[in-house]
Amino acid sequence: MRIEQTGLAANRLSPLPTPAGTQPAFVADVDRETWLRVAQAVRDAGRRLVTLWGSDARTETNGGDERANDAPAAGLRVICAAYALDDGVLWLRLAVDENDAYPDLSSRFPCAARMQRAVHDLLGLNAAGASDTRPWLDHGRWRGDAPPLRRKATGTAAADTPRDGQDYPFVAVAGDGVHEIAVGPIHAGTIEPGHFRFSVVGEKVLRLEEQLGYAHRGIERLFGGMDAEAGYRLAGRIAGDSTVAFAWAYCMALEQARTIAVPPRALWLRALLLERERVANHLGDLGALGNDAGFAHGLAQFSRLKEEWVRLNADAFGHRYLMDRIVPGGVAVDLDDHKRIAAMLAQCDRIEAQVSSLQRIYEEQSGLQDRFARAGVLAAEIVEHYGIDGLIGRASGRSHDLRSNHAQAPYDALRVRVAGDTRGDVAARVAVRFAETYESLRLIRAILHGLPAGEIMAGQTAGRNDGAPEPARGIGWVEGWRGGVFVALEIETARDGAILRCHCHDPSWQGWPALEHAIIGNIVADFPLINKSFNLNYAGHDL
């Protein structure tokens, strides 16, 4: 489905600039009827809702100069939805009065349910007709009349006043022999906090319900008023294991908003950093999955390989996990040392041989395969139901990868071979990780051999257009190692580039509800293994 097939009139669509390395995107302000009609058309065509968010677009007062931030009238807020279509992203904006509600999307896109609950907690806006209106990020300690993303008359965020917490209303399961097991929110080891409520008969899981939000750090509020040039640093700290993906998505959005053309060499170096981030995470996960199935040898060997991998990151780029290497307009460090390039090429050959050897060991271990096979099956219809992409979707038959389906430079020249499986179980998710590791190693070699000459930074003031009457907008959409990482950015160009709203979306929003389905019918003891095979993001989800 293409954007023109949504039924939106051409004069309602505002195409965003598409300098090199950015994704095509269109913005449209719509009414309630069009909001629902487009959602239904997208759903009928089998396309995805990427994310949903809200922003406070009321008239600001700043030093006596009142400006309406693209809202039709003072007192309005805006609810936004981003759809993934064949020819780019469609960003819809619907103005909503603070005393009104916006039309529910969860009946058409079930993944929207938790997003709408988060919008309520952050902005106080309600989805009319939504079946689930429980709090999501608010654990009962925020003041209900001052959601954190609402603005006061001065344009600053409203103050929060803590209050006593409240118990979360989990859905109870009744029946003979049914009992509940509460796990978390604090877990053993160093994993992030999340509460998992199991309803079981004996050891068999009948239902799992999650309560997340414990890792909420107010990231989206911190973005407000920040200099847009500095926002990449905050974006890169949303999730430490996806710092490259989030930083690239943020910079892509800023570069689109300001029409900054990133030099080809910088784009190729960004892809190199992203693929090295992907390999590091797959190596870590493959070891952890072996360990969760009782195969400690796998953990030891893959941990050794990951440590070797990130040490070379530090040597070549100055940071083990590549933080702050992608910056607005390009990259912060060049790779012009032939010895380091040779070291990376040699490392790719060495790591590939050892991963291949370990894969054979994994496949020959009958006990390991017994734990992997048929555990945590995620059916293809559930993938479709929640609009899941990324690694999890590819392991259940959904062959979608932004590096191929929406390839921007340099991936349009690299021809990514998309990994996939149809089994949908832990074994399939392990197999996809192996396949993606090999493909990333191939891509790294191709990047190092084909790295173009030239500058690594664009001019920092290109396309600023500080006198523009409306906010500048841009989107970033990058295939992180979990899946598509998305950033929607609005900056006030007339105020030296301060951020009005920055919404960051991790693919775990679609993945967490699917995990609740994948565990049904399995035994409680297999949950750590199944959960690890998804390896979803807490911090990136709990913004």
Q: Give the residue from 534, 448, 392 showing the smallest Cα distance to 276.
A: 448
Whether 147 is covered by a domain: the verdict is no
pLDDT given at position 466: 46
Identify whether residues 350 and 398 lie together within a single domain: yes
- Would you tell me the crossing angle of helices 338-364 and 296-317 to the nearest 10 degrees? 170
CA 285/CA 305 separation, integer angstroms: 12
Q: Would you call 132 exposed, middle or buried from its count of C-beta atoms within 10 A (0-12, 13-18, 19+)?
A: middle
Give the chain's mean pLDDT: 91
93 and 202 in a common domain: no
Angstrom distance (rounded) from CA 372 to CA 290: 9
| E strand residue ranges, 290-379 | 326-327, 330-331
- The identity of residue 214, as a single letter, is Y
Same domain, 115 and 80: yes
Residue 174 to residue 164: CA distance in whole angstroms: 30
* 455 part of a folded domain: no
The answer on 21 and 108 residing in a single domain is yes
CATH of the domain at 24: 3.30.460.80
Residue-level pLDDT at 143: 65
Longest Cα–Cα distance in the chain:
73
d(CA 440, CA 142): 43
Same domain as 415, residue 281: yes
440 in the same domain as 348: yes
**Pair 398, 312 in one domain:** yes
Same domain, 205 and 228: no
- Residue 150 within any structural domain of the chain: no
pLDDT at 145: 65
Domain assignment of residue 429, yes or no: yes
What is the total residue count of the chain? 543
Both 252 and 266 in one domain: the answer is no
Q: Rg of the chain over CA atoms, in angstroms?
A: 23
How many domains in the chain? 4
Residue 379: CATH number of its domain: 1.10.645.10
Q: Averaged in consecutive runs of 10 residues, what is the pLDDT profile of the chain (543 residues)?
A: 90 92 96 96 96 78 35 68 97 88 96 96 93 91 77 59 73 92 86 93 96 92 94 97 98 96 97 98 98 96 98 98 98 94 98 98 96 97 96 96 96 96 98 98 98 90 50 96 98 77 97 97 96 94 88
Residues 536 and 392 in one domain: no
Burial profile 102-120: b = 16 or more Cβ within 10 angstroms, e = fewer: bbbbbbebbbbbbbbbbbb
Residues 306 and 419 grouped into a single domain: yes
| Residue span of the structural domain in which 364 resides | 261-450
Return the SS3 of 303.
helix
Residue where one domain finishes, among candidates 407, 424, 450: 450
Predicted pLDDT at 74: 46
Task: Spell 365-381 as b/e; 16+ CB within 10 A means b.
Answer: beebeebbeebbbbeee
**Single pTM value for the model:** 0.94
User: What pLDDT score was predicted for residue 462?
Assistant: 46
pLDDT in tens, 67-115: 333 334 445 799 999 999 999 999 999 999 877 899 999 999 999 999 9
Say if 235 falls within a structural domain.
Answer: yes
CATH of the domain at 543: 3.30.390
Extended strands (E) in 98-187: 101-103, 126-128, 178-183
**CA–CA separation, 213 vs 166, rounded Å?**
14
Residue with tokens 């300098």: 19
321 assigned to some structural domain: yes
Task: Based on the fold, state whether residues 356 and 411 are members of the same structural domain.
Answer: yes
Closest C-alpha among 363, 352, 334 to residue 442: 352
pLDDT tens for each residue of 282-314? 999 999 999 999 999 999 999 999 999 999 999
In angstroms, the CA 66 to CA 466 distance is: 17
- Indicate the pairing of strand 195-201 with strand 178-183: antiparallel
Helix (H) or strand (E) holding 419: none
Helix (H) or strand (E) holding 59: none
Q: Evaluate whether residue 165 is within a structural domain.
A: no
Q: Is residue 480 part of a domain?
A: yes
- Domain end residue (candidates: 429, 450, 471): 450
